[in-house]
């Protein structure tokens, strides 16, 4: 089964429900072949939505996977601390709490805005809120974070 064909099958459903496909691929775990898809939407995704995605895609795949070896379908969310893999993805998380690792520093704070390839982050430094402007190309790792 071609992953592009799966994407084409799933895209209308994703668009209709304002979801984005974050990752797709086959993995082998404990001897099982798994078709794994990660979906998300702004503000996060709930279990009912994931179940509905799985049901829809499972029914659609049954129509085309006759020559496919046995596999399991897994539709999941990226999780609360998902990595942000592109500047475009970072832009979708303005006002969210993020974790950023630079060469010599780590920041956790609220992404205030993204402008001209730089991120403005509001963070707490020993009880005082400060803002820092971080060029995207200097970031080693950026992910969503859970504020405790």
Query: SS in 3 state form for the chain?
Result: CCHHHHHHHHHHHHHHCCCEEEEEEEEEECCEEEEEEEEECCCCCCHHHHHHHHHHHHHHHHHHCCCCCCCEEEEECCCCCCECCCHHHHHCCCCCEEEEECCCCEEEEEEEEEECCEEEEEEEECCEEEEEEEEHHHCCEEEECCCC
Report the pLDDT averaged over residues 39-51. 90
pLDDT at 43: 79
The CATH number assigned to the domain with range 87-144 reads 2.30.30.180
pLDDT at 80: 85
**Which CATH architecture is the domain 3-76 placed in?**
2-Layer Sandwich (3.30)
* Structure confidence by residue, pLDDT tens digits, 72-105: 999 999 888 989 999 999 998 999 999 999 999 9
Residue ranges of domains in the chain: 3-76, 87-144
* Structure confidence by residue, pLDDT tens digits, 11-39: 999 999 999 999 999 999 988 999 999 99
Is residue 145 within 8 A of residue 81, CB to CB? The reply is yes
pLDDT at 67: 66
pLDDT at 63: 82
């Amino acid at each position: 089964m071609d992953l592009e064909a799966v994407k084409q099958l799933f895209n209308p459903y994703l668009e209709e429900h304002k979801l984005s496909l974050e990752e797709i691929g086959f993995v082998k775990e404990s001897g099982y072949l798994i078709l794994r898809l990660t979906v998300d939407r702004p503000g996060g995704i709930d279990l009912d939505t994931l179940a509905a995605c799985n049901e829809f895609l499972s029914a659609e795949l049954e129509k085309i996977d006759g020559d496919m070896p046995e596999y399991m379908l897994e539709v999941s969310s990226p999780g609360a601390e998902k990595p942000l893999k592109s500047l475009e993805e970072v832009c979708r998380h303005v006002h969210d709490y993020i974790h950023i690792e630079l060469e010599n520093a780590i920041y956790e704070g609220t992404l205030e805005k993204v402008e001209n390839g730089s991120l403005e982050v509001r963070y707490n430094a020993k009880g005082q809120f400060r803002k820092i402007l971080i060029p995207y190309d200097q970031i080693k790792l950026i992910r969503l974070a859970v504020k405790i």
